[in-house]
C-alpha cells in the first residue's frame, strides 16, 4: 500500500517525539503532524486529512473520547482511521473510545512491530484491538447478559438485524470481527476489495453501526461466528 499519513496526538512532547521516531523507522509511514490536545487534533485532522489519527485519551482542553466524537461527526474527518494509543486501558476507557468511534485500541506498552501493524491495519480500513481491549469487549457483553439474567447476550433485536444479512454479508462481517482488512478478506473470498467494502457498508447499515469497530462489537453481541 502507499505511504500511511499519521497524525500523532498526545499531550506530552517527549512521547510524541518517541512515537514519531518509532513510526518513521519503519517504511511506509509518514508522521504529517503532532497535536497536544484533542481540540487541536480535530483542527489539524480537518486540515491534513491523514489516513490515521493516533490518539491519546487523557489530554487538556478536549480529551481523546471528545475528539473522536467530533471527528466522527464531521463529514471531512468521519472516515479517518482512529487508533487509540494510551496508558489508560481500564474497561471504561476502552469501551468509551470504541463507542465514540475508534477503530482500534492499543496500550503504550505495545512494541514497535505491534504498533506498526495496528497503524497499517487501521489505515487499510480494518480494526486493531489489543488482547486487553478484546477481553474487555467480550467481558462487557458477558456481564451485560448476566445482569439481564440471560444465558446468551443475543437480544431479539440483535437477532433480527443479524438475520437481515445476506450470507455473503454475514461471512464478511465475521471476517471483519476477526480483524481482517478488506484486502485480506478479498483474497480469502476471491472477490475484489471494492466488493468487500460494499458488503461491509451494507452490513454496517443493517446492524445500525457507523464503523468497523462497532460492527465487531455488534457481531460479537449477535453471536456471529465462522461456520
| pLDDT confidence of residue 141 | 53
Across 74-189, the runs of DSSP E, i.e. the strands, are 81-86, 104-107, 128-129
pLDDT tens track for 131-187:
555 555 555 555 554 555 444 555 678 788 888 999 999 999 999 888 888 898 999
pLDDT tens track for 2-49:
899 999 999 999 999 999 998 988 678 999 999 999 999 999 999 999
Sign of CA dihedral 188, 189, 192, 198: negative
Sign of CA dihedral 113, 119, 123, 129: positive
Cell 464531521 belongs to residue = 74
CB within 8 Å of 91: residues ≥ 6 apart:
136, 139, 140
Domains and CATH numbers, the chain: 4-131 (3.40.50.2300), 154-221 (1.10.10.10)
- What is the pTM assigned to this prediction? 0.65
β-pairing, 29-35 vs 4-9, is: parallel
> Which secondary-structure segment (H or E) carries 55?
strand 52-55
Percent of the chain with pLDDT over 70: 85
CA nearest to 199, candidates 220, 180, 176? 176
Cα–Cα distance, 88 to 22 (Å, whole number): 20
| pLDDT confidence of residue 178 | 83
| pLDDT confidence of residue 146 | 52
Q: Which of 82-96, 130-144, 209-223 has the lowest mean pLDDT?
A: 130-144
The residue among 84 and 177 whose pLDDT is bigger is: 84
Cα–Cα distance, 53 to 21 (Å, whole number): 16
The residue among 222 and 168 whose pLDDT is bigger is: 168
β-pairing, 29-35 vs 81-86, is: unpaired
Q: Is the pLDDT of residue 226 over 60?
A: yes
pLDDT tens track for 101-127:
998 888 887 788 888 888 998 998 877
Amino acid at each position: 500500500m502507499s505511504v500511511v499519513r499519521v497524525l500523532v496526538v498526545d499531550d506530552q512532547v517527549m512521547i510524541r517525539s518517541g512515537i514519531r521516531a518509532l513510526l518513521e523507522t519503519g517504511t511506509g509511514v509518514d508522521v504529517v503532524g503532532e497535536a497536544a490536545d484533542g481540540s487541536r487534533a480535530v483542527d489539524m485532522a480537518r486540515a491534513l486529512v491523514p489516513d490515521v489519527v493516533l490518539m491519546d485519551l487523557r489530554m487538556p482542553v478536549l480529551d481523546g473520547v471528545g475528539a473522536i466524537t467530533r471527528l466522527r461527526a464531521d463529514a471531512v474527518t468521519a472516515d479517518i482511521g482512529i487508533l487509540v494509543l494510551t496508558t489508560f486501558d481500564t474497561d471504561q476507557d476502552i469501551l468509551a473510545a470504541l463507542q465514540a468511534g475508534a477503530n482500534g485500541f492499543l496500550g503504550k506498552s505495545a512494541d514497535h512491530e505491534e504498533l506498526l501493524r495496528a497503524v497499517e491495519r487501521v489505515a487499510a480500513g480494518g480494526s486493531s484491538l489489543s488482547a486487553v481491549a478484546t477481553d474487555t469487549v467480550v467481558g462487557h457483553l458477558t456481564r451485560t447478559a448476566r445482569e439481564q439474567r440471560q444465558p446468551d447476550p443475543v437480544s431479539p433485536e440483535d437477532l433480527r438485524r443479524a438475520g437481515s444479512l445476506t450470507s455473503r454479508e454475514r461471512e464478511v462481517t465475521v471476517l471483519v470481527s476477526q480483524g481482517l482488512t478488506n484486502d485480506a478478506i478479498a483474497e480469502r473470498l476471491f472477490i475484489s476489495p471494492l466488493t468487500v467494502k460494499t458488503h461491509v457498508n451494507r452490513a454496517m447499515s443493517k446492524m445500525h453501526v457507523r464503523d468497523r469497530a462497532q460492527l465487531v462489537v455488534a457481531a460479537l453481541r449477535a453471536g456471529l461466528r465462522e461456520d
